[in-house]
Amino acid sequence: MTVELPRYQKLENTLRQSIESGRWQAGERLPSIRTLCHQQGVSKITVQHALQRLEAQGLIEARERSGFFVAPGHREFEPPRQASTLAAPKPVSVSQVFQDIMTRSAAFDLLPDHRSEVTPPGIVQLNRSIGRALRRQSASFQYYDEPAGDPELRSQLALRSARRGWTADADQFCITSGCQQSLFLALMAVCQRGDVVAVEAPGFYGVLQLLEQLQLKVVEIPASPNSGMDIQALEETLQTWDVKACVVSPAFATPTGAVMPHETRVRLLALADQHQLAIIEDDIYGDSGWLNVPDTLKAIDESDRVIHCSSFSKVLSRDLRLGWVSGGRWHQQIMQLKLTSQLASSRFLQQGVADFIAEGGYSSFLRRYRQSLRQQRDHLLTLLGDWPVPLRATTPNGGLALWVELPPEVDTLSLYAETLKEGIVITPGSLFSVSGKFSNCLRISFAHPWNGARIAALHRLSELVS
């Protein structure tokens, strides 16, 4: 017997077919809710439900006081193909290109020498909060901060974690000098030299750098640009090799912007219990989502096997260097490692940020910043649509960058030196793996507005790859 679909789902399918067939082009406005009600003979609630489902899938987007529009790039770009072949664990060697990119401060900007002179209002408010905290310092300037960090900042982190499904206490957080240090402490706590760590491929090159420094071996797990780590591949890996830890980014993973589905997260934690695995959650992009902010992996961690790591650097300020770690069953060991490696964090900096959050400045900043990121992503997708070469790109709903796959003959690592002559700094795809894969890929950031200089640089880059 055939089960009839609900009306909202019928309408959803009809609208999707119209988009995919080209009836409505990228950036084109859909009929109004009132018009759709009249045309389809359905209620307003039915239309709203269908539109909300399409928006959650990234097919359309709502614009304030303007209605719904086909999401830019939907028809032009498909997700890049994912790698599918598992390889044995191997030592890590990070390319010198990574150091060169960081030296040029170009991780998220094609033109790092063309910096904006305008400071966003939220950053002005943040600086004022930090300044007030500094002026409040009295005799305390001669004393160290406690190892876990400022209690008020940790309390604010606990309050914010509840918004993402994780009921935490202030005592579960330890303040660090950034997410990179949080990841470093987590790896030190759960691994010894020569141990094997599973990572996403493509995955964050900063993690690969840490693994190299700690003399750990890496096994790369294929990752979908839409849903993240291939859990079936991870399970096969765990059955073959003794893996001590797994580093994942469930929310807007770099470089693809993938979001791990809830069902996959549940399977991941079940595997962690079965194989006595430590899960290190890199959640640095979690707050960046403009359609929704996914819950943390820590929110469903019932065995304390998840070490949650994050910071303010990607969504607030790269220069802030203020992060945190919640170490689960390894938390006390992580606290001891922080004490011996850093001793203490800046008290006035923490207090200033805590005040900024408590006064609502951070939430207000995020609302504006997320909207800017969305507009800049859309602009980038439109610009990529004019490139003379065939390409595939992700369309993430959070994070700071797209993952772009170029024709197989393009070697973006070789292209790096050529673009530097033009003053353009690219991030080659091969940095996101130790296997030599993704040589024809690029990570292109939309963290900055597409002004004339950046548009010209992107156009020049398209000429160099064609």
Model pLDDT for residues 309-332, shown as the tens digit of each residue? 999 988 888 778 899 999 999 999
Superfamily of domain 93-118+378-465: Aspartate Aminotransferase, domain 1 (3.90.1150.10)
Asked which of 75-84, 128-137, 304-313 is least confident by mean pLDDT, the reply is 75-84
3-state helix, strand, coil in the chain (%, to 5): 45, 15, 40
**What is the reported pLDDT for 81?**
43
CATH pick for 7-70 out of 3.30.9.10, 1.20.1300.10, 2.120.10.30, 1.10.10.10: 1.10.10.10
CB 170 within 8 A of CB 305: no
Place of tokens 């194989």: 275
Which of 138-147, 202-211, 225-234, 414-423 has the lowest average pLDDT? 138-147
Number of H helices, E strands in the chain: 15, 15
pLDDT at residue number 130:
80
Residue 415 structure tokens: 């292209």
The 10s digit of each residue's pLDDT in 139-163 is 566 556 678 899 999 999 999 999 9
pLDDT score, position 86: 64
Cα angle vertex 207, ends 95, 202, to 5°? 75
> Which of 202, 226, 311 shows the shortest CA–CA distance to 218?
202
Give residue 72's pLDDT band: very low, low, confident or very high (50, 70, 90): low
397 and 291 Cβ atoms separated by less than 8 Å = yes
Side-chain-facing half-sphere of 204: CA atoms under 13 Å: 26
Task: Compute the distance between CA of residue 368 and CA of residue 385 in angstroms, rounded to an integer.
Answer: 26
CB 376 within 8 A of CB 449: yes
Residue among 365, 305, 347 at smallest CA distance from 123? 365
Quick one: which of 107, 300, 103 has its CA closest to 204?
107
Residue 105's pLDDT is: 65
Residue 193 has pLDDT above 50, yes or no: yes
For the full predicted model, state whether its pTM sits above 0.75: yes
Residue owning tokens 């290190």: 280
Start-to-end CA span in the chain (Å): 54
- Which residue, among 10, 32, 25, has the nearest Cα to 74 in the 3D structure? 25
Would you kindly state where each structural domain of the chain is located, as residue ranges? 7-70, 93-118+378-465
Report CA Rg, the chain.
23
Mean pLDDT, range 234-239, rounded to an integer: 94
Amino acid in position 49:
H
Q: Are strands 228-229 and 217-224 parallel, antiparallel or unpaired?
A: antiparallel
Taking the C-alpha atoms of residue 297 and residue 267, their distance in angstroms, rounded to an integer, is 12
- Residue 406, phi then psi, degrees to nearest 5: -100, 175
